[in-house]
Copies of this chain bind each other. A is one copy, B any other.
């Protein structure tokens, strides 16, 4: 039985929390930021959430109009969850919240990191040289493949498209996150096999170097 409790407060913040304030709700939304996902993808991305919780949150978010369930056309036939237009507008809020969160002084735990999290961090913190030529990197993480398009100092991330990438990187989310702004991590990850690359390494270095992590907060 899905949760249905309200703060009973007409304030917009409280109304937002009525919709996405339940535990795990915003993390489910986070997982959908970069594209539709199947139930099992969500479970893999959020291994600490039990299956009934994920199911409950999906039902509630759908009921509130934040997400929508869609049946993929044959031959795939499977069902995916995706954000509605309104749900997608959570993106800047979640990005800002993540920025705020990493500035916390709490110990950075060696915990899990979903592919979406690592890609969002990449997109947020990557600072490719603005005058660099456009490039497309293919990123394979956790059995899914994404495309990072570098253009005009910006990084766009989405499902891998038909465009041929200039370079490919296969690794796990934590290794990718460790690479941000740390060229040494890039080389060592390749050396010890935690990452494999093909294509033009310069495109990947362009993507991963110069990442600007926000400074921790002052008390």
Contact = CB atoms under 8 A, between A and B. Distances in A.
Interface of A: 6-19, 21, 23, 26-27, 30, 48, 64-65, 68, 84-86, 89-90, 92-94, 96-106, 108-114, 117, 120-121, 174, 177, 217-219
A15 B117 contact: no
In the complex this chain forms, how many copies of it are found? 2
Nearest to A216: B86
Contacts of A86: 100, 103-104, 217-219
Given A14-B101, A217-B85, A112 B27 contact: no
Contact of A113 (B11, B16, B92): B11
Contacts of A12: 97-102, 117, 121
Contact of A16 (B10, B90, B98, B219): B98
Contacts of A84: 217, 219
B21 A26 contact: yes
Contact of A106 (B19, B109, B174): B19
Given A11-B121, A18-B106, 7 more contacts: A8-B111, A9-B27, A10-B111, A12-B117, A13-B30, A64-B106, A65-B105
Contacts of A112: 8-10
Contacts of A64: 104, 106
A10 B26 CA distance: 15
